[in-house]
Structure 1
């Protein structure tokens, strides 16, 4: 199972049972503060009926809290449902605190957290202090120790307003994800428009010329067959040239570029929950064939990291190097994942090596990398290094 399957992205609903449990764990981690009510039920000297009702009230309160916060973070609930649930939690907190004692005042902290997690900021910023004020009033009415009351005021305010910040962060993350999808869609639309313009420029003149010469050849038949044959020969030549132009254009569209693959690597790694360190820029004067080979190799290497490595960090570096055989451009992809699965190279590495061979490039692999991508000897991680020779004048700066 890779990181993308285990990772529950911020602002992204869980897609499996494991992710549901992870999200519940993060939401329910605050339930550690329920130790005071649990201890009170066990050693508070309540009557059997009081203890039973206290257990029931605590279970109902915790269940309502988890359902409200968890469901709302997965998918926003109706406003009336949220308001009714918060009112129920508040009423239950008041009832249990007044009937069972000091230890139950902590329930108001969870009410404040629920307010911050589910309500808009303009509402939460005044309702959280109101919940805290009710906490103080209930404590004073029931004669609770002022030290206990003041000890809970700060967690209620801090927890509530902290959850408003988390909610804003989730909302911003969702908006950024939607904006990124919109940008990708706009880029695709722009590429389609560019393709349409290029095909129009390539074929418009040729097809117009073919149509004109076909009509001219038709008028020359049968009286001037020699001239008609010349027009047909011209039509054949124009058609062949148009076919060559179209094939060249399509090849250019299909050919990956190194800048495009570097940008794609950042996006793919980030989408998989892998921290990406892509400190690389392609040289402007890199020949077409070596660039294509490195671009394909980078795509394959990043795909392997996302699918098979279970890595948390991946570094991609591209830099010219001086060797005994001359200058080379070196591409390094290093991750801190599980390392190589075996001693035999897979189809992906074999394909990379075959492509590199066409440009006299080399491929080296190394298991065992640290977080920064350097060798560590821990048996974890994998480093892929590719190099292609550079001609004179290429990559003149380090």
Structure 2
């Protein structure tokens, strides 16, 4: 029951006010006024009751019949919601059709207009796959009755189009409302997916940013602690480096949150040189990437390689226990096409065998987003190697 109620509430939120089941007094008044406008076309039966020359008994029965028809019609239209049982709606339409037929045959052609209300109510209250048959069915019943009622064929031409067009217009409005609900639900789903993707991106960026900076701060803090008793000047230098790295990390986080930060290979090579030197690791780094990188390497691809370099160096500093680390950055031509390759290799222990962590998972996602790939694993008996490749396309 709770799930059904939740579904009904969600469906009702997608409807225009006039198509909802009214809840507050204001909504009831607005919907009642909207429906009452269309009762204007009942002026013909009312006029016939007043001045149609019927006897007192016929007038009384006609008045009661018209009141019952209008009451049944208003209940059907006023309380219809998408989850209302089709069988109940069909039963109500059968009652309305019977009333319209009896009143038209008993009191005359002016009462044929009641079939227009039967057609419209079927278009409002029934699903499209059913109302596409009931609207023509109500119109056909009106036509058959008109040929039986004296002079009814003269009224028929003016009622066929309102019956058909009014009924199918309601079918279209109902379909539009249903489509609106589906579009709103789809839009909400897309928004949720976009939010999830943005959270994933932010988590990946913050991990890459803070993992590198905090590892460097930890190393320099340990160095400063060891130097403090006998080398206060060197310790002060390490503390100054910690302050600089902390400030830069704060700037990086702010830029990442703002979505503006795009790391570059020259900047990450300089940062890798500093981090490896602080950890006591001999670094073999290229003098500069400008000479080795192809000109057609996009900013997104360079950013992915820069993140790969940062994550690899951070892992060397934190986990490997390496004495030497070599970084190479080259463009290659193979049978599969041209690509640029970043390799980070160390001679450390490589760490215990374990599933890929958040850092490597994030790098894989970044590289795949620009058509690249990542491979990482032990290099021989000792050491660890990370290789990031990004294709540049085939030669024209």
Q: Is the 8 A contact 2:21 2:78 kept in 1?
A: no
Unaligned runs of 5+ in 1: 1-7, 255-398
Aligned counterparts of 2:23 and 2:198: Cα–Cα separation in 1:
32
Q: Which residue, 161, 170, 173 being the options, matches 1:166? A: 173
Partner of 1:119: 126
Partner of 1:24: 32
Partner of 1:185: 192
Partner of 1:147: 154
Give how far 1:233 is off. 3.8
SS of equivalent to 2:54: coil
Partner of 1:80: 87
Aligned counterparts of 1:12 and 1:202: Cα–Cα separation in 2:
51
Partner of 2:109: 102
Give how far 1:241 is off. 2.2
Aligned counterparts of 1:47 and 1:156: Cα–Cα separation in 2:
30
Give how far 1:18 is off. 4.2
Aligned counterparts of 2:219 and 2:117: Cα–Cα separation in 1:
81
Partner of 1:242: 249
Q: Is the 8 A contact 1:108 1:131 kept in 2?
A: yes
Give how far 1:13 is off. 6.8
Q: Map residues 129-144 of structure 1 onto 2, 5 A cutoff.
A: 129-144=136-151
Aligned counterparts of 2:182 and 2:18: Cα–Cα separation in 1:
11
- CA, structure 1 residues 244+16, in 2 after alignment: closer, same or farther (shift >3 Å)? same
Q: Is the 8 A contact 1:11 1:173 kept in 2?
A: no
Partner of 2:58: 50
Q: Which residue, 40, 64, 70 being the options, matches 2:72? A: 64
Give how far 1:85 is off. 1.9
Aligned length, in residue pairs: 245
SS of equivalent to 1:77: coil
Q: Which residue, 41, 46, 57 being the options, matches 2:49? A: 41
Which has more radius of gyration?
2
Q: Is the 8 A contact 2:18 2:31 kept in 1?
A: no
Which deviations, in whole Å up to 9, do the C-alpha atoms of 1:220-262 show, x marking residues without a partner? Answer: 3787564555444433332232223334555x379xxxxxxxx
Aligned counterparts of 2:118 and 2:164: Cα–Cα separation in 1:
11
- CA, structure 1 residues 10+52, in 2 after alignment: closer, same or farther (shift >3 Å)? closer
Give how far 1:215 is off. 4.5
Aligned counterparts of 2:217 and 2:149: Cα–Cα separation in 1:
97
Give how far 1:87 is off. 1.9
Aligned counterparts of 2:205 and 2:17: Cα–Cα separation in 1:
40
What is the CA RMSD across the aligned residues, in angstroms? 3.3
Q: Is the 8 A contact 1:98 1:142 kept in 2?
A: yes
Unaligned runs of 5+ in 2: 1-15, 261-396
TM normalised by structure 2 equals 0.53
Aligned counterparts of 2:108 and 2:139: Cα–Cα separation in 1:
17
Q: Is the 8 A contact 1:90 1:111 kept in 2?
A: yes
Give how far 1:108 is off. 0.8
Which deviations, in whole Å up to 9, do the C-alpha atoms of 1:160-209 show, x marking residues without a partner? Answer: 12222222222223333333333333333333333333323332211222
Aligned counterparts of 1:10 and 1:55: Cα–Cα separation in 2:
29
Which deviations, in whole Å up to 9, do the C-alpha atoms of 1:282-312 show, x marking residues without a partner? Answer: xxxxxxxxxxxxxxxxxxxxxxxxxxxxxxx
Give how far 1:134 is off. 1.4
> RCO (CA 8 Å, sep 6+): is it higher in 1 or 2?
1
Q: Is the 8 A contact 2:224 2:238 kept in 1?
A: yes
Aligned counterparts of 1:184 and 1:116: Cα–Cα separation in 2:
34
> Are positions 1:209 and 2:233 aligned together?
no
TM normalised by structure 1 equals 0.53
- CA, structure 1 residues 10+178, in 2 after alignment: closer, same or farther (shift >3 Å)? farther
